[in-house]
Chains A and B, each alone.
Chain A
């Protein structure tokens, strides 16, 4: 039982990890909890679904397609909504509300087009999979987990070792100062939104592969991702990934003791406890006020 729950937690975490890192990237750069990433998430899932199941494109080509769909949505949201609002000097809360509006409009458009029934990316019989200490994991789940781990490693390297990572951190730290020393801050913020959208799209593909998708699942995953981004924020990419894992484990092992309907509540209980403890001080000054 223990091993099965641990494996389940790993699989659930793997799906949400890219999305959570996307949330964190946007949050680090512009200080926004971007609900439109929930839209990028379902966009990625549905784009890959259309490519694979309706058009018949092989899976490895659908993967970049889904990521691109998420990234494009992220770019559009930044270019046409957040950028004009930021330039006008809007309250950050207005940006958050606008991102909620984008999410609601997009999710329901998908419901109109595809219906609310769940869709699965892969057809065919479920393979038996592997046995680890009495816990089972299928091939698809294994692909998701390893894909997710690769993603974390690549992004962690990007963030810490490359010049782009440094520039992004500079823009996040002070975009005006970055502008002054010749870094085109706006373009880099757009890039951050594109990365976040693409990551969300990847998460959507993982979800479509592993647990099937419907237009409404974006919100649940987005909330897990946001909580993880808050919890792991100070630890960089790796910290966020660990945050997701922590939440997934709490959810799975909580289900062991409670009933499964309380999984969402457990996530939020973690968030609330964490925010309340950390807001009293600690190494995260951004938690209390951005303004």
Chain B
């Protein structure tokens, strides 16, 4: 039972990540490969404040989100002027640089050694200890993400984002400052991803750079694509599919190394197959970005 709840906590965290990425990728049509960087930024910010300064969870999560918004400006203001393939490659570049900072800035992040002993979160006197309590917290966060993204995308603001996805020149012709819309969407998405990161760090109590590689970014993108981009339930279904199905490999009794590779083969093949045969994802309303 504990194992199942553990998996569900991960589903909650990844749903949050997929929902936040969907705001940028599905609704605005900007395929970003730097989402794991924001995830990692939230995790590291909260973990460092918690272990060094004993900062409580709520402050830590806010600090992570604020820092992610700042970093999203650093990434988005220059690279959002680029389009399509170039934007993807630029965000890929930022993701690689971020990973290399995590891995090499020994005095701050302890590099590959990672940060251990992250304290359990206490929220307004509620000490989150058991897996079940974490599941509640993760579900709350996913609901929060869902609510925020839903509000944004069903408002006129979201309609402008959709217009940018369909035809940016047209949105500009209507007098919309599309860069401002894209930068805002990117910042919101980054903040939510960072919050998921803080929760991840508190739950696992140990983080190291390998959790925030470009493969992680690709995994989150795969969830959006496979579940269905620009839809309400797509990110949840994508997260369930990509977290749960590989877990089934555990029960086949393969050695750990083999299972890890097999899982990656599975992700890659599933991504290609879905793009080939069902580009709108399992429950998506639009083909990705179009």
Contacts and interface: CB of A to CB of B under 8 A. Distances in A.
Interface of A: 31-33, 81, 84-85, 90-94, 96-98, 100-109, 111-112, 116, 219, 223, 226, 230, 259, 261-262, 264-265, 268-269, 271-272, 275-276, 279, 287-291
A189 B214 CA distance: 30
Contacts of A102: 268, 272
Interface of B: 29, 31, 78-79, 81-86, 88-90, 92-94, 96-97, 100-101, 103-104, 214-215, 218, 221-222, 225, 257-258, 261-262, 264-265, 267-272, 275-276, 279, 287-290
Nearest to A220: B96
A101 B267 CA distance: 7
Nearest to B262: A112
A104 B271 contact: yes
Contacts of A279: 81-82, 86
26 contacts: A33-B85, A90-B275, A90-B279, A90-B290, A91-B287, A97-B31, A101-B267, A102-B272, A104-B267, A104-B271, A105-B267, A105-B269, A106-B268, A108-B261, A116-B257, A223-B96, A230-B86, A265-B96, A265-B101, A268-B96, A269-B97, A272-B93, A276-B79, A279-B81, A288-B86, A290-B85
B271 A271 contact: no
Contacts of A92: 84-85
A251 B97 CA distance: 14
Contacts of A97: 31, 221, 225, 271, 275, 288
Contacts of B267: 101, 104-105
Majority secondary structure of chain B interface residues (helix, strand, loop or mixed): helix
A291 B271 contact: no
A226 B258 CA distance: 30
A93 B93 contact: no
B78 A272 contact: yes
The 8 A-B residue pairs with the shortest CB-CB distance, nearest first, are: A105-B268, A104-B268, A101-B271, A268-B93, A101-B272, A108-B264, A289-B83, A108-B261
A93 B85 contact: yes
A276 B218 CA distance: 24
Contacts of A259: 104
B287 A104 contact: no
Contacts of B288: 91, 93-94, 97
Contacts of B103: 261
A84 to B, nearest CB: 7
B289 A275 contact: no
Contacts of B214: 219
Residue among A31, A91, A93, A272 with max Cβ neighbours from chain B (10 Å)? A93
Given A264-B96, A291-B83, A105 B272 contact: yes
Nearest to B290: A91
Nearest to B264: A108
